Copies of this chain bind each other. A is one copy, B any other.
Amino acid sequence: MSTLDWLPSSILQLSTQRDLKSGEVLFRQGDAVSAIFEVEEGRIRLLRYTIDDHVAVLHTAASGESFAEAALFSDTYHCDAVASVVTRVRAYPKRELLETLLGDPKLAKKYMSVLAHEMQTLRTRLEQRNLRTARDRVLQHLLVSADAGSGIIPLSGTLMDLAGEIGLTHEALYRTLAALESERIIARTKDKIVLLRGKSL
């Protein structure tokens, strides 16, 4: 369900929940790091105040995503974390988590693996953004996400969410999917997309 649920129960039991209203601040740049977090429900934005008090959004963490991992290795947070909607987060205490991770090589390896895979995913998504046209981006996403055997891409959220993930407006995504369907390159059902084979894209 989440990126940290493989942690030993000793740590899971030390984690706590916190509810935030829309606009409420979870931590501020410069605060001492007490915990790292995971979004259970809602959305957290990481903001940095730059020269002349301009605000830059560094990251938006959605449900199921952990964030502020780098804070595990820092004394203070380097950005603000603000809920942009009603949000529930789970907090994992820094000191205990770090001790647990470093005290057990198996866990250390697991965490490195999780981080490395997340990096891989991010790099792939970034590379995807280099594709200019909606068609290329959608196809790239479908090709990479498709089950190798069946060509099925299950739809976890809504198409609007998917549009955001791949950096398109929902209108552009709908239009592109409609075009691909009419060209018999994909088939669609309510909860999945199927890549049809034997097509020269």
Which residues from chain B contact A143 at a C-beta distance below 8 Å? Answer: 50-51, 54, 56
Which residues from chain B contact A109 at a C-beta distance below 8 Å? Answer: 73, 98, 102
Which residue of A120, A127, A143, A144 has the most chain B CB atoms within 10 A of its CB atom?
A120
B-contacting residues of A (Cβ < 8 Å)? 48, 50-52, 54, 56-60, 69-70, 72-73, 98, 101-103, 105, 108-109, 111-113, 115-120, 122-127, 129-130, 140, 143-144, 146, 148, 151, 167, 195, 197-201
- Beyond A59-B124, A108-B108, whether A54 also contacts B115 by CB under 8 A is no
Inter-chain contact A126/B124, CB cutoff 8 Å: no
Distance in Å: Cβ of A54 to nearest Cβ of chain B: 6
Which residues from chain B contact A125 at a C-beta distance below 8 Å? Answer: 126
Inter-chain contact A73/B129, CB cutoff 8 Å: no
